[in-house]
Structure 1
C-alpha cells in the first residue's frame, strides 16, 4: 500500500511538471504548431519513461542500457521545469522592458533559443558529471583528540540499477588506495531487494583499513527489508552500528564511534534511533556519531564532537539544493553546529534516480580528524 501511494505521488508530481512545461514554455515558443506538437510528444514519451523507471526498480533484470534510458527522463523533466520557470520570469520582465516592439521580438526569439539550448546543454553536462566520483579531502580539528586519524566516508551508494558491481569495484579501489584508518558507510547503501544486490554487495568486503568498516542504515533500507540488509552487511564482516558505540584506536589515544538508526524508523515504527543508548558508556575521549540524515543533529544535545551524515546528495541536480534546504539544516560539507559540535555532510558516492549530477559531484570523503590547535 505504501509503495502504491509513493508511486502515485511520485508520478503525480511529474505530471504537474509536464503540464507546466507544456503551458508555460512550449506554448509560448515562437515556433510552428507542428514543432510544438513534436515537443509535446517528447514530453509524453519522457513521462512514459519515468513510469517505466519506477517499474524497472523492481525488475532488476532490466538491461543496463534500458535502465539508463528509463532513468534519464527524470532529470530531463526536472531541468526542463527549471528552464521553464526562468523562461517564464524572463518573458514577464521582457514584456515590461521600455524598448521597441522590434527589439522586444528579437530578444524574445533569443530567449526561446537560449532556454532550449540551456536545457539540452545542462542535461548532457549533468550526465557527464555523474560518471566521476571525486575524492573530497577535509581536515577537521577535534577537541581533546590525542592523535590524527584518517576516516574514509562513503554514503548514499544506492546499489541497484546503474550502481552495479563494476561501479562498486571502482569505489573500493579508490578507497583502498587512500589507506584509511577506518571506513564508514552512512546509509542508503542498497536500493533493491538484497538478494538481487548480493554479488555487488560482496565487493564491499574488499574494503581495507586499519580498524575496519562500519555501517549505519539510511531511510532507503527501510523500503527493502531493513532486517535482511543488516544481516547481509554483517555477513561481509562489516560492523553495523545499531544505536551503539565502540572504541577506535590505540588505548587512550583514540575516539568513540557511535551510530544510530535513521529517523525514518520513527515512521516505520521499528529500528528507531536512540542517541542516549548509542553513546551510553563511552570512554572519556572524543565521540564521532554516524547518523544518516543531517537533521538528526537537532536531537544531539551533548556528548558528540562530530557527526557524519549523508542523505542530501548535495542536491544532486542544481537548483534542487534549495528544496533540500527546506528539509535539512545542512546540505553538504563541513559546518560548526555549535561550540561543541561539528557536522560533515557527504554529497553521496552514488546517485538516486537519473545518472545525472549538476552542481553536486559524487564523492568519497577523506576526513582527517586531528587534535585541535586551540586546546
Structure 2
C-alpha cells in the first residue's frame, strides 16, 4: 500500500528529476562543445584507390547568447584541426530563435566562417531559415538572400541547383548542391521548394563520383544510385531525442532520416545533428556536432 510519505517522496523525486532534466536541456546541452561525429563509408560506386575526407557543419543558427561569434570561432578552429580535404556547409546559418535570442547579422557570422580552410575549399548550400527569415527573398521567391550574399562576399561559393567538379589527389569528383526544398511556406505544413534534383544532376557531365548536398533529407528517396553520398542537416537530430527516438522531426518521413548514417538500396545518406536550435533553445539527447567523414571504395 502506498503511504502518504512514500507518495510525497516519489513526487519530490519526480519533480527534482524533471527540474534537473529541464536545466540540462536548456542550460547545458545546447551550449556544449560540439562533438565530432566520425563516419567511414564505402559506397559501391566509389572508385578504387581514392579516399576523400570531408568535414561538414549544419544548422549554425547564429544568435546571442546560444551561438555567439566566439562560439562560431571555436567551431571553426575545431573543424580546421580535422585537416579535411574539403569542407561543406549544409545550410541554416541565420537564427532560428526569435523570442529567446538576438540574431547575429549575416556579414558577421559569414566573416567568422571565412576562416575555414581545406585544400579543396569550402562550399555551401542554404537552408529553409535562410529563406524564411529573409523577407525580401520571400517576396521575390528566388535565390537572392542575405545569407548567400554574405557567404559569397566572404569567398564561400553557394550552390543552388548547381554542381562543381573538384580534383582530390589523382581523382576528380563532383559536389552537387540542391536549393532548399522547403524554401517558401505555403500554408500549414506545406512548402514550395526551389529544388531541382534532375536539373542539378544534369550538370554532372563526367562519370566521376558525386556527393550531393541537400539541407533537408526528404529528397533522399529520389536520389539515384549514381550519387555516392548525400549529406543533409535540418533535423537537428530531432533536437530532443529519448532513447534514440525523436517526438518531433521536421521531416515528412518522421524518424526515418532523423540522424546519422542511413543506407537504403546501397545508397548512402548522412544527416548531421547540427549545431544550433530552432523554436526553443533546447537540446536533449541530441548534442551539437560537426561531421568528419572518410569516403573510400569498398574492400575487395
TM-score range, shorter chain: 0.7 to 0.9
Q: Deviations over 1:109-167 (max 9, x none)?
A: 23311221111111222322222211111111123324111100100001123212111
Contact 1:294/1:328 (<8 A) preserved: no
Partner of 2:276 in structure 1? 350
Partner of 1:187 in structure 2? 91
Higher helix share: 1
Between structure 1 and structure 2, the one with the greater Rg is 1
Q: Deviations over 1:175-213 (max 9, x none)?
A: 111111111111111127998232232111110001111
Partner of 2:123 in structure 1? 214
Contact 1:331/1:345 (<8 A) preserved: yes
Contact 1:230/1:240 (<8 A) preserved: yes
Q: Which residue of the other structure, out of 22, 26, 40, is the alignment partner of 1:123?
A: 22
- Counterpart Cα distance in 2 of 1:159 and 1:255: 31
- Counterpart Cα distance in 2 of 1:233 and 1:117: 45
- Counterpart Cα distance in 2 of 1:202 and 1:349: 18
Aligned residues: 272
- Matched residue of 1:210: which SS? coil
More divergent stretch after superposition (193-202 vs 134-143): 193-202
Could you state the TM-score of these two structures normalised by the residue count of structure 1? Answer: 0.67
Q: Are 2:82 and 1:178 aligned?
A: yes
Higher strand share: 2
Partner of 2:230 in structure 1? 307
C-alpha distance 301-107 of structure 1, shift in aligned 2 (>3 A): farther
Partner of 1:279 in structure 2? 201
- Matched residue of 2:79: which SS? helix
Partner of 2:108 in structure 1? 199
Could you state the TM-score of these two structures normalised by the residue count of structure 2? Answer: 0.82
- Of structures 1 and 2, the one with the larger relative CO (CA 8 A, separation 6+) is 2
Contact 1:194/1:232 (<8 A) preserved: no
- Alpha-carbon deviation of 1:353? 4.4
Q: Tell me the C-alpha RMSD between the 2 structures.
A: 2.4
